[in-house]
Amino acid sequence: MNYEPSTLNNMQFSAAQIAMMINGRIEGDAEATVSSFGKIEEAGEGQLAFLANPKYEEYLYSTGASIIIINESLELKQPVGATLIKVPDAYSAFATLLDKYQQIQTQQLSGIQQPAYIDVTAKVGEQVFIGAFAYLGEKVIVSDGTKIFPNVFLGKNVTVGKNTIIHPGVKVYHDCIIGSDVIIHAGAVIGSDGFGFAPQADGSFKKIPQIGNVIIEDNVEIGANTTIDRATIGGTLIKAGAKLDNLLQIGHNVEVGNNTAIAALTGVSGSTKIGNNVIIGGQAGLAGHLQIADGTKINGKSGVSKSIKTPNTSVTGTPATDYLTSMRAQAAARNLPALEKRVKDLEQLVKDLTDKK
């Protein structure tokens, strides 16, 4: 199946212009131009590719790409036909370039599509885009440069910072605060009620009103269909730079630290405090009221039932334990059949010796 290449908005960029954007050094024709992106193994003339993974180095010498971004540490084994832009980290440089490309796309969006509902008390900044069927409730504030895509709901008193992108179908409940340069992907729900119910004598549950909010600081990204519950009292807090994947459940009064990354299908129970620069693998589960120290690494599918108080700890398993200890235990478990046989042989030897007495 053939796919159309990712275009650069019908614009051409020269190697010199690209090198300036990513602080790269050119080897080859500085006037070579590209108008689309391509994988290094498939790219053709007029396309830009990059090489970060050594597994794909063979394609560097056969690709049809016009410009290739590579690591400056790479030692070429044979001549390359394309113009090269050398940078310290090709993957990071390519990410920077894609970010600039995306900014070009989103900056072109402005104005208010119809039909859209904007309450008379709402305030909308400059260069804002509001898509069709969006709903902006009472006293909503949308700051300059923000893009609100179709079918987004912003409840009463919601505040959105500058240059934030809220994709289709996102629902932000009342009183929530979203910072600047935030990206919220389709279907996310911000500020729904926390899971608070008080058991009653007759076996029923009485709902505890959730009167807090959700606060999302700057430069946060939230994946599709992720849900972040509002606090019972106070705020559920996602700190600056945090990256949340798709399909997460973040409970009420949780705090997620600066530059922490959480992979898909993870659940974090209420009032747990996650530190800075924590990495949590997919399908992990964290119990409530825990403290997770800065720099902790939690392996995928782990079940964390106790606080982790030592920074830069790595854990795995259910219940989660120290990673190296767990690996040694797994290695020992693989030897159990052989150990069982040795024990049986020793038992038989003891029995034989006993019988001879």
Q: pLDDT value at position 100?
A: 85
pLDDT (mean) for 50-56? 95
- Asked if 343 and 285 sit in the same domain, the reply is no
Distance CA 274, CA 267 (A): 12
Residue 5 lies in a domain: no
Beta strands in 60-202 (DSSP E): 67-71, 83-87, 111-112, 117-118, 123-124, 129-130, 135-136, 141-142, 147-148, 153-154, 159-160, 165-166, 171-172, 177-178, 183-184, 189-192, 197-199
300 and 172 both lie in a single domain: yes
- Split at pLDDT 50, 70, 90, the class of 308 is very high
Domain contains 1: no
Per-residue pLDDT, averaged over 315-342, amounts to: 86
Asked if residue 292 and residue 149 are part of one domain, the reply reads yes
Same domain, 115 and 101: no
In this structure, the answer to whether residues 55 and 198 fall within a common structural domain is no
- Reply yes or no on whether the pLDDT at 336 is more than 80: yes
- So what's the pLDDT on residue 357? 67
- Within this chain, do residues 20 and 51 fall inside the same structural domain, yes or no? yes
User: Given this model, what pLDDT does residue 305 score?
Assistant: 97
CA pair distance 318, 296, nearest whole angstrom: 16
Same-domain pairing of 71 and 144: no
In which band, very low, low, confident or very high, does the pLDDT at 162 lie, cut at 50, 70 and 90? very high
CATH, residue 81 = 3.40.1390.10
Q: How confident is the model at residue 27 (pLDDT cuts 50, 70, 90)?
A: very high
Q: Report the catalytic residues.
A: 252
The pLDDT confidence band at residue 10, using thresholds 50, 70 and 90, is low
CATH number at residue 268: 2.160.10.10
Asked whether residue 251 is domain-assigned, the answer is yes
Whether residues 143 and 243 share a domain: the answer is yes
Name the residue range of residue 160's domain. Answer: 111-325
276-285: per-residue pLDDT in tens? 999 999 999 9
For 166-221, how does the pLDDT look when each residue is reduced to its tens digit (9 = 90+)? 999 999 999 999 999 999 999 999 999 999 999 999 999 999 999 999 999 999 99
Residue 146 has pLDDT above 60, yes or no: yes
Dihedral sign of CA atoms 157, 131, 193, 296 in order: negative
Q: Is the predicted pLDDT of residue 251 greater than 90, yes or no? A: yes
Number of domains in the chain: 3
- In this predicted model, what pLDDT tens digit does every residue of 94-133 receive, in sequence order? 999 988 888 877 777 889 999 999 999 999 999 999 999 9
CB 304 within 8 A of CB 287: yes
* pLDDT above 70 (res 341): yes
Instruction: Indicate whether 325 pLDDT > 90.
Output: no
Which residues lie closer than 8 Å to 203 by C-beta, 6 or more apart? none
In sequence order, which residues have a C-beta less than 8 Å from that of residue 340 and are 6 or more positions away? none
Specify the pLDDT at position 327.
80
- Decide if 264 is inside a domain: yes
Q: What are phi and psi of 92, to 5 degrees?
A: -65, -40
3-state helix, strand, coil in the chain (%, to 5): 20, 30, 55
pLDDT band at 345 (very low <50, low <70, confident <90, very high): confident
**Residue 43, domain member (yes or no):** yes
Over 50: is that where the pLDDT of 91 sits?
yes
DSSP state of 59: G
2 domain residue, yes or no? no
* 156 and 231 belong to one structural domain: yes
Closest CA to 264 of 295, 226, 216: 226
The per-residue pLDDT for range 33-49, each reduced to its tens digit, is 999 999 999 999 999 99
* pTM score: 0.84
φ, ψ for residue 235, nearest 5 deg: -140, 145
